[in-house]
Chain A
């Protein structure tokens, strides 16, 4: 199994990008050449040079340093959204699949309602209702994301709930809750967790989008979407202010997608 990961160059590329981003996030204060918030009006709108590799923005902040610190915000949002949405979705999906009947109907109709909104629109209205901040964007994205896990887990539960090991646990007198926790959930979590790893990239992309329209991180936070948003004012004078934060988003999302794709191929027997 391990060898297969090394065989796929795209998966390796994804892994490499993700590891680099995690390293940048952890060691940001030591790697970044400047303070990401340090205003220096004497140095504003400088093009890329050996001193400022990615140039400076409209108040003279070093864009490279801001992008490096931005990895912290994006990773935090990506992981926290999945950490909140994943257990909620998994538990509801397991209950729906295992209980069946009216419980199943109710849970699945609720997920249908959430999925009948294009994701970004639902998160946008929730974040707008709660007010602009990173925490609210996080919450809004989690509320939008859980139904996907519910669907996946439910269908895996349906496929195993009549299998022999579940039957025998039932025959031994295990309670439904015990069966869910001990037998069902551990055996259905695989596909859902692959989905979660694929989702990290899209969560980060959505969060950047929400910050871009003014809902997420607020200035002067070095969040990539917010940086892109303010770069529009100075586009004519400073192409670099718009170019580099976007590349950062693209690479991060691409890295997580490649890694997620690779994991899915690895764990899905159909692709072997």
Chain B
């Protein structure tokens, strides 16, 4: 019961944050130097057309009226019209979002697969060679410009060796699978389309690893310090004394208890990956939200940039909320205040 009350309270607390996000993005939209109407009309429009557009876009209304309209549209899922594609931004986003989600989930998967064991090994062999190696890798990973690593991967695996594809989500000539989730790997699995599945996975490898390189460093560091704390506790010594095998004690006892801080960091990592998509998707021509936003910047398509910003922020706080709830629910020691 307490857990349920906590969950409801946390969801209610999201409302002021969402409100704040809308105020902040509205404020940013209104700082555009230069006239949105002029931008929408294009560089060669004459004064009369711009004036009409200003009136039509409601730019002559008082600020609070404009905000009210902005908010109303947001709530209805209307994120404005793209100045470039001339269709509702929401339509564009529906098209690009699954690609970003697929890439983000894939890179999180790699992060967990590599980062957590690396952190555990690092902690269990504290100050030994393996630990030093893992720590240096983590330090380099955190300092790594992902967009550069992506270019180097392209150079090596695509241009030099030619063993991995360098752009897009599928081989040319392959039709995307029937859209169920919009994520090609999952849709291909669901429809049993193996050729597409293979191609989709192979296309995910380079951008996925590029994206993960940074987050692996973060997770490794966190896992290491969290494990070090746990490994010093009595019950771990007891488990070892009772003759528990190294792996069983490390993964069965210690990691389970050291998991909490790692879980929180995974939420932040998710946000980091979403943010990083702006850079990584540009490098690999990955047709997702990040690349859409970067193209929008190039074409001065401001409604599109703001829509991506809002969407990513909302996604980020939602994931963190879910993790917080999970955190509270799985750890009965925590109280719900």
Contact = CB atoms under 8 A, between A and B. Distances in A.
Nearest to A241: B151
18 contacts: A110-B20, A113-B23, A113-B24, A116-B20, A118-B271, A120-B275, A121-B309, A122-B309, A128-B305, A131-B34, A208-B145, A213-B282, A214-B298, A242-B152, A245-B148, A249-B145, A254-B140, A257-B139
B145 A253 contact: yes
Interface stretch (B25-33, B186-194, B242-250): B25-33
A215 B305 CA distance: 13
A213 B308 CA distance: 15
Contacts of A213: 278-279, 282, 294, 297
B316 A117 contact: yes
Interface string B271-302: 11011101100110000000001100110001
Contacts of A214: 294, 297-298
Interface of B: 16-17, 20-21, 23-25, 28-29, 31-34, 139-140, 142-145, 147-149, 151-152, 154-155, 159, 271-272, 274-276, 278-279, 282-283, 293-294, 297-298, 302, 305-306, 308-309, 312-313, 316-317
B145 A125 contact: no
A40 interface: no
A128 B302 CA distance: 8
B104 to A, nearest CB: 11
A109 B16 contact: yes
Contacts of B272: 118
B312 A121 contact: yes
Q: Determine chain A's interface SS by DSSP, over half rule.
A: helix
B143 A257 contact: yes
B145 A209 contact: yes
Contacts of B274: 118, 121
A116 B32 contact: no
B155 A125 contact: no
A109 B16 CA distance: 8
Between A125, A239, A257, the greatest number of chain B beta carbons within 10 A of the residue's beta carbon is seen for A125
B143 A253 contact: yes
Given A117-B309, A128-B302, A242-B151, A254 B139 contact: yes
A131 B298 CA distance: 10
A212 B98 CA distance: 24
Interface in A84-140: 109-110, 112-114, 116-122, 124-126, 128-132
Nearest to B132: A10
B142 A257 contact: yes
Interface string A234-257: 011001001101100110011001
Interface size bracket, A side: 35 or more
A240 to B, nearest CB: 10
B21 A125 contact: no
B17 A124 contact: no
Contacts of A131: 33-34
B143 A250 contact: yes
Given A213-B294, A214-B297, A112 B316 contact: no
Contact of A249 (B148, B297, B312): B148
A258 interface: yes
A205 interface: yes
A124 B297 contact: yes
A9 to B, nearest CB: 11
A228 interface: yes
A236 B32 CA distance: 38
Contacts of B155: 235, 239, 242-243
A186 to B, nearest CB: 30
A120 B145 CA distance: 13
B294 A121 contact: no
Nearest to B14: A116
A36 interface: no
A188 interface: no
A125 to B, nearest CB: 4
B148 A228 contact: yes
Nearest to B279: A209
A250 B16 contact: no
